[in-house]
Each structure stands twice: as C-alpha cells, then as structure tokens.
Chains A and B, each alone.
Chain A
C-alpha cells in the first residue's frame, strides 16, 4: 500500500505540474509576509547530439528509422552528452515565526520527487548500438570513458526562511531506484574480414537490487540565498544562490557487475564446434573468464545529482518594466558542463509578464527560452520553456517545460 502511495504521489504532482522555480526567471518578493504554497516542476531532456526526434521515440515509442538515426549521427562528436530531469516540489512557507527573539525567522516544509538521468557516450557506441557492427569492418569501436546514471528519489524536508526569502531546508532522501554504468578503457576491434574481434573492457554496472519501496536513505540540502546588488540600470536587484538536492544516500543492497579483461574472438574450427556440441567447451564461460566477469553485492554510498545556480534574479516588486536576469547553473553530473544564461523580463501593465533567455552549456549547446507569467492577487503562475525551438522542431536537441505556481494563503 505504502509503495503504491509513493508511486502515485509523484504522478499527482506531475499532474498538477508545479515546476522548478530555478529554471524560470527567479522572482524575488521580499515584501511578501503571507504564508504561501509553491508548486514547481520541470521536465527536460537535452543532448549535445541526440535529436529530439530520436529521444521522442524513446519517450513516446515508435520505430527509429534510418533518417532519424542518421540525423543524430551527423551531430555526433567523439564524446556526446545527454541528460534528463523530471522533478517536482511542493513547499509550504509559513509566516509564523519559530522563535520569539527572531520574529523574521519562519519555517517551511517540502516534499519533492526527482527522476534524473545523464550520461556521456562515444559516437562509436551510438553507431554500434543503432547500426550494428557491419560498418565497423577494419576499425575499432571506441567505448572508453563512457558513463551513465539514472536515479529516482523522493525527499521530505523541513527548513527555515527569513523575510529576505533566504532559506535552508534539510531533506530526508528516500531512493527508489539507482543505476550507474561506467567504462574505463574499452573498445572492440573488428578485422576487415571479421576473422578477429578483439575486445578490451574495463566496465562496471551497478544497480539497486531490492524489492523494497526504498532502496536507500540519505540526506540532501536545499538553500536559497539572496545578495542585494545596487547598480544603476538593469543591474539593480539581487543575486540569488540556489542549491538543490546536495547530499548523499546509502543504498542498502546494490549489485555491481564488473568486467576487466580482454577477449579475442576467432571463428571456430571444426574441432571447436565438435567440442562445443559435445559440451567439452563452453564459449560463454571462456568469455566470462577472459573478461574477469564478476558480480558483487553490498551497500554503497552515492552522491545525489544536486544542482547549484548563481545568478541575478527578477525583483517581483520592481517598478521597472524591463529587468535583466543572468547567471550560471551546474549539476553534480560529469555529463553536465556549467551552463550560462542571460535573459530579459518585461512586465506589462496588466497581469502578465513575458521573458526570453538564451543559454549555453549543460547537457548540450545553445538554446533559447521564453516564458509567460501571470500574477493576480494571491495567485501567480509561470509557464515556460528553456528550449523554444525544441518545442517546434524535431531536429533540435531537446525539449523543456518549466512551471511554477504560487498561492498566497
């Protein structure tokens, strides 16, 4: 029952689809004295080479034809990156002070859920996986230094916040799933006539290995800290430092499969075939022995794919119609290169405001984003994307949806 409930809860949140406030221009409202509830959520995938049309096939299903494969193949470098994050949070910010002697210090509670996956892969790995080995005759498929990670976890936290909207939250992390693979020196060489296949592999695959609802437990820290800046023009405002999900978790039972060795495949001769048919040779065992195949189980500490973002944010109470925002963002993932972004915000006379931004880095390259926000009395809502072209063009490298909803109580 508990497991079902835990599975349903995040879906409810995604259904409501709150969104990651960090991905939208951050409104700083230091004049707010009300208690309020924030729903925030995001969903994005982004790659340096995989086109949207291919990833969509994994998301929605369907047959990946040669055109789709070729389009992504043309964008490949020697190493390529991919990442995806689907997460949501609901936070209740109280306006009740916790301590008599610190009336500005109130509390907040938060529940959140995150699916996160990221990895780096070589163009040869892509080619081998999607095209097969037929075009590798006479050359080597380089599979070195690849890695991938997927995790899903819930968090439940309690924190403190002050009037300046600075906050810190300590979350309990409940890991639902974790898997990771890495390769060191790895590759497969195919002789021109396929008479020799020479494989070298130093690789490991680790995954949680339990039927329990929670595969592990840990802690994570979220924090928001705002530094006022006083410059003339567009620069007037605050710099926000945002930390999300920085922490660790202990997985109670993981199974790690390792190979570390070399294997030379040669076509069989007639004696080999007779011996295999008679059961005197076991090809699979020989392969495992040559590659030093091993499987180990036990507990293990992991780090969470946390995020840090530093940047100038939009002042919700500013009288300016145009404000700038910019900054940089980083995930605790080897596949993510620090992303920089810059954008402008326009406040209309009415309820609505608009904005646009451009960013570079992360799991891919250059992207352009846009959003729309509405604010009326105690309710505000923002919806946007960090990849406008990705919404419309199948040949882009990702898609992004971000939203935030705030209800002042």
Chain B
C-alpha cells in the first residue's frame, strides 16, 4: 500500500469520525420553559359559622356580641379526699385442739371494723368512683370450705356487698387458697362503723362453714382460717363529712397565641364588660382571694388589671341543694369601664394573661358539724365571661407571622424561573388589609421583600372585590434556595375607629392561585 493510498484511507476513515462526533457530542444542557398554574386556596370565612359556639352571639340588629364563657381553672375537688391503699387481715383460730367438725358446720361468723387514715378529713359516707378489693382466703381444713364475705354498709342499688366462695381443702399440710378480685366502683359506703358513731371506718363480716357433702374433719389448735383484703385505687365521687382545712393557691396562665403575633398598632374597644366568677359547687364554706390579673403583650409590656376587690379576701358560701338540684355559690367580680381599667387592659393587646388566686376550704375548721358534702357534679372553678359588642376600631394593627419554608428550587431538572401569586378576595368585613411578604435566610435576615400590588379594602358598606398580586421575579426565584422562612405581615385598618361593628352577614372569600414558569433542564 502506498503512502498516498494510506492517506486516502485515513481521510475516508476520518470523515465519519467528524460526522459522528458532530452528531453525538452534547455541548450544553437542554432547557425550556413551561407555564403552570394551580389553585392553592379557596375558602370563605363566615362570621355566621362562629355564632352560637359560646363565643359569639347575634344581637337584634344582626351585629355580633362577644359572649365568651371560658373556664380558667377547674379544681378536681375529689383530690381533697385521698384514701390510701389499705390491707386488712381477719383470721380465726381455736385455743384447744382436736375439735371434730361434721359436714355443713358453720364455725366462724365474725364482723370486724377497719379504720382508714385520712388525715383531718372525716368521712361518714362516700360513694366510690373507683376501687378494688383483692381478697385472699386461706382454708386450713381437709374439706372444702364455704366462705361468705360481706361488707356491711357497702351497698349498691340497695344490695349489700357479699360474695360466697368455695375454697379447696388443705392438702399435705398446706392450706387451700383462693384469690378474689372485686370491683367496688359505684358502691356507697357507710363509714360510721357497726355502731354508727365512728368515721373513716369500713366493716367486714366473714362467715365460714364446711362443705355439707364433705367428710368429718378435725380443727386443730394450729389451724388458722385467714381472710386478707387489700383495698386499692380507692377514690370517691360523693362524700359526706368534714373535708378538712385546705388551702389552695396558684397562678393560672392563659395564652392566646394569635395575639402574640400583633407587633404594633392600636385598637379601640367600646362598652367593655368582663366578669370573673369564682364558683363553689361543694357544700362547704370557703374563703377566696384574686391576688392579681395581668396581661403581657407581644412587646413584653405588662399591664395589671385594677379593681377595688382585687387582692382582698372574700367569703364563699357553701353550695345549696344536693344530688339533682345542686346550686353552686357564685362569687362575681365585675369589670367595666367605671370600676376598672378594663378598656386599657384589653387594648393593651396582651397575649399572655396571668390570674393569681387563693382558696381556703373550711377556713374556720369543722363549723358544719361534719356535714360538708361533695357531689359528682361539684366543682371549684374560676370562670371568665365577657359580653361586649364586636365593634373594634383598628389603626395600623400589624400582625406578623413567620412560617418555615423549604423549597430548594435548585433542582437540576426543574426550577421555578418566575411567577406570581394572585389572591382574589371579596371582603364584607369593615376592615382593610394590606400585606407584605419577606423571604428570610437561616439567620432570619431579609433576603428580599416580594413586590406586590393591591390590597384588600374594607366593605363600605358593600363587599369589596380586590386582588393582591405577589411577584416572583427571576431574581427572587434564585433566592428561594436560601430561604428558610417567610415573614408575613398583615396590616389591618378598620373602616372607622368608632362603631365599627361586625355583622353576622360579614364574610371574607379567598381565592389564591399560583402562576409560575418552570425551567426544565436536562444535563
């Protein structure tokens, strides 16, 4: 092959190489744009749906009244009575040996009383809300023995508690044993003992006889008939007696999280009325004191509620009536604009409320002669009630919330190039709303404030149709990967500062859509 020919062949071979390389070599990524839209939120907030839920009520003129009724604390009054777990042993033996017992002989019938240590609480009667009795019976005789256990004064539906058990005979010198587990919940217990003069006392009666169909057996002096009861988990839901002298003091803290987001602005309330009620549902006298009421706003500023009766002791009468007609005693604290700084207190826009209180039950000892009484529906509670029109003037009230955000937007396949969020609203509330959205980095520093157009106008008087648009520019989209949270600012202004009433027909319709351009890239 000549050199010339070789060159020619090489040229021929090189040609397809060039062709293929030009055909197959990728020089850069492939990309294109596509336009997407999605409806994200569609909802309508109606005032009417909140009425009659113990917060809002409708006035005759269809305006809204704030009738809040909330329990700030509710003491479990049955915690006043604590019955410790108690084990009782009752046994029987004879001092002489060799007593021959024919079949069917009853040879034990004994009542015993058991005292419960309840401190200074004196119980005459009680109903057990819960409780178990675990009974271990031991039979030393060589015949089946019939044990009849009765708890005199322990009654349910008019029937005294009793249980009969057959216990196997002793074998090889070991007594026959049986364990019984009894549920005592719902039983009334007379704790005055067999004579009716005692207290905190429970009776038990043990009757023992041999099997009528068994053999004659011998009762030796060493034989012991044993009956062991363990009372556990005893609690009551009714008690009669003396509840002891008990003091309770605490500070209740109530947080309203939504108000913690209000960072600035003023509100104007009118015709404020607020009531704190201390409710005594037990038939025992008590003494109480509301030591302080304070509110802390989002800026950490504290305001104290003033009232002539605050931090002064007051007497709390016993409840009246009994099981079906219990009438709790209610001690009211009324706060209005004449006797307190309630208006300033609420316009302070506190989100954390602290209420200190003290309650002493039977502060002067057993003055009732042991007739204190707790019923299942008894309570000792602090209740908050409000009654004022939802007529709020608002001036540049700034509500700020920050939500976590994790949208890397650095996918090599798809990323948002640009877009916009469009919120269409129909607002029948007498409030205007403007918004601002900021993207924050990991250090909570502002990366960018989103450009936006429009705001929600207050109804005046007809509902206002508005549109807010947030723009995601390509520069903003680039920042999404560094965004760790979004700060949302809502600035609220009322149509007027006075008589700015909310009516039952008010609503806010929201329709949020996203329009965005995706950049798809294939490497």
Contact = CB atoms under 8 A, between A and B. Distances in A.
Does chain A bind chain B? yes
Nearest to A60: B27
Interface stretch (A10-18, A158-166, A173-181, A359-367): A10-18
B94 interface: no
A273 interface: yes
A137 B513 CA distance: 13
B421 to A, nearest CB: 13
Given A59-B23, A61-B27, A194 B35 contact: no
Contact of B403 (A43, A277, A401): A277
Contact of B515 (A86, A134, A268): A134
B60 interface: no
A193 B422 CA distance: 13
Contacts of B16: 16-17, 19, 41, 383, 401, 403
Contacts of B41: 267-270, 273
A27 interface: no
Interface in B25-70: 25-32, 34-43, 45
Interface residues of B, number: 41
A58 B31 contact: no
A129 interface: yes
B24 interface: yes
Interface in B1-40: 5, 9, 12-13, 15-17, 19-21, 23-32, 34-40
A401 B12 contact: no
A194 B32 contact: no
A395 interface: no
A219 interface: no
A62 B36 contact: no
B43 A269 contact: yes
Contacts of A266: 42
B13 A16 contact: yes
A194 B20 contact: no
Contacts of A134: 35-37, 515
A133 B16 CA distance: 43
Contact of B512 (A63, A267, A376): A267
A64 interface: yes
B518 A132 contact: yes
Nearest to A65: B32
A58 B30 CA distance: 6
A6 B520 CA distance: 32
Contact of A399 (B23, B36, B40, B520): B23
Contact of A17 (B19, B32, B36, B43): B19
Interface of A: 14-17, 19, 41, 43, 57-65, 69, 86, 129-135, 137, 193-195, 197, 266-270, 273, 277, 374, 376, 379, 381, 383, 399, 401, 403, 405
Given A16-B16, A270-B510, 17 more contacts: A17-B20, A60-B26, A61-B26, A61-B30, A63-B31, A63-B32, A64-B31, A64-B32, A133-B35, A137-B37, A195-B42, A267-B40, A267-B511, A273-B41, A379-B9, A383-B15, A401-B16
16 contacts: A15-B17, A17-B19, A19-B16, A41-B16, A58-B30, A60-B25, A62-B27, A62-B31, A131-B34, A132-B517, A132-B518, A194-B38, A194-B513, A197-B38, A269-B42, A270-B43
